[in-house]
Amino acid sequence: MAKSLFEEKLNSGKFIVTAEVGPQKGVDCSDMVHHIKLLKDKVDALNVTDHQSSVMRFPSLGGCLLVKELGGEPILQVTCRDRNRLALEADLLFAYSRGICNVLCLTGDSIDVGDHKEAKPVFDLDSVQLLRLIRTLESGKDMGGNDLKGAPQFCIGASVHPAADRIEPQLIKFEKKVAAGAQFFQTQGIYELDSLRRFMQYASQFNVKILAGIILMASVRMAQYMNENVPGVIVPQSVIDELASVEKGKGLQKGIEIAVRTIKAIKEQNLCHGVHIMAVGRESVVPEIIEAAGL
């Protein structure tokens, strides 16, 4: 039996669409609720980010509960930056008890890129170890080797960076994640298809589902900012030029066009198993992207 609705969809062979919502800083969840309502029936699952870019926010666990309450299928993003193994285990037990059964396991961005630069970085585990921790919990044991009263069952995923400038070490890590039990991967942003195609030629030997990450670019400034400041992001010059070619105020429209074009090409060429759309604050246009891409 599938461990979650999302796992069932992953195994169905259909083209998967996921998107994400980012919790706000503060207790007013109205925007998040709005985005969840807008997206929940248009995607196969909704990620909720975990203090993305090391900026303190409402927790991903709380966001996932909202997704659940509103009738959506959540993917809990869990990073190792802020919690040691006890806290990670406890959060996972709680998540499962509330029907949150999909987890994306991430190491987490460095504290230095965020808004609490003086905080203690935890990183008791890394992403590979977190994947293994989940399989350990599923076996009915905690990391201390103690028996659990009731074991959770999760559909687990991880991230991979097909466009990294040094791909070999990333692939070594990817294989470790597969061996640790990752069932699906949501990739870092894909802006040109060659790197994705090359990656898929290699990755197709593994029995895992790959969802190409699509980051919506709202302006040429955003693309440049991301290149300079967001860990690992490499937006190609061709995309920057294209965004720069339109008149002021039309950047978002261009960004949507690029996202739609990329998604369509991925789907038509059957490059991978689905897409993961990251609108970083522009969630309200995601339905438009999904529709225009014919998903």
Partner 1 sequence: MIVAEQKPLDEIQRMIAPYEKVLILGCGTCMTVCGAGGEREVSLLHSALRLAQARAGSNMHQFSEYTVKRQCDPEFIALLADRVREVDAILSLGCGIGVQVAAEHFPDTPVLPGVNTSFMGAVSELGVWDERCAACGDCRLAETAGICPITRCTKGILNGPCAGTKNGKCEANKDIDCAWILIYERLARLGQLEKMRRYYPPRNFRTIPRPRRLVNLVKADMGEEHG
- Cβ closer to partner 1: 56 or 113? 113
Structure-token pair, residue 32: 């998040």
Q: Which of 8, 124, 192, 257 binds partner 1 (CB under 8 A)?
A: 124
* Distance separating alpha carbons of residues 105 and 100, to the nearest angstrom: 14
- Site map (CB under 8 A) of partner 1, residues 172-211, x = contact: xx-xx--xx-------x-----------------------
Min. distance of Cβ 143 from partner 1 in angstroms? Answer: 8
**DSSP codes, the chain:** --SSHHHHHHHHTSPEEEEEE---SSS--HHHHHHHHHHTTTSSEEEE-SSGGG---S-HHHHHHHHHHTT--EEEEEESSS--HHHHHHHHHHHHHTT--EEEEE----GGGSS-TTSPP--SS-HHHHHHHHHHHHTTB-TTSPBPSS----EEEEEE-TT-SSHHHHHHHHHHHHHTT--EEEEEE--SHHHHHHHHHHHTTSS-EEEEEEEPP--HHHHHHHHHHSTT----HHHHHHHHTSPTT-HHHHHHHHHHHHHHHHHHTT-SSEEEEE-TT-GGGHHHHHHHTT-
Min. distance of Cβ 186 from partner 1 in angstroms? Answer: 11
- Site map (CB under 8 A) of partner 1, residues 130-159, x = contact: --x----------x---------------x
- Cβ closer to partner 1: 29 or 164? 164
| Segment interacting with partner 1, rule: CB under 8 A, options 6-14, 124-132, 194-202, 216-224 | 124-132
Q: Which of 60, 77, 170, 262 binds partner 1 (CB under 8 A)?
A: 170
Q: Which of 147, 165, 247, 268 binds partner 1 (CB under 8 A)?
A: 165
- Site map (CB under 8 A) of partner 1, residues 219-248, x = contact: ------------xxxx--------------
Contact set for partner 1, span 73-112 (CB under 8 A): 81, 85, 107-112
In this structure, the number of other CB atoms found within 10 A of the CB of residue 22 comes to 26
The CA–CA distances, whole Å, from 67 to 15, 187, 215, 220 equal 22, 22, 21, 32
- Cβ closer to partner 1: 1 or 172? 172
Specify whether the CB–CB gap between 75 and 6 falls below 8 A. yes
Interaction between residue 168 and partner 1 (CB under 8 A): yes
Min. distance of Cβ 274 from partner 1 in angstroms? Answer: 19
Q: Which of 123, 206, 236, 257 binds partner 1 (CB under 8 A)?
A: 123
- Site map (CB under 8 A) of partner 1, residues 4-43, x = contact: ----------------------------------------
**Residues at the contact surface with partner 1, assessed by CB under 8 A:** 81, 85, 107-113, 121, 123-129, 132, 143, 159-161, 164-166, 168-170, 172-173, 175-176, 179-180, 188, 231-234
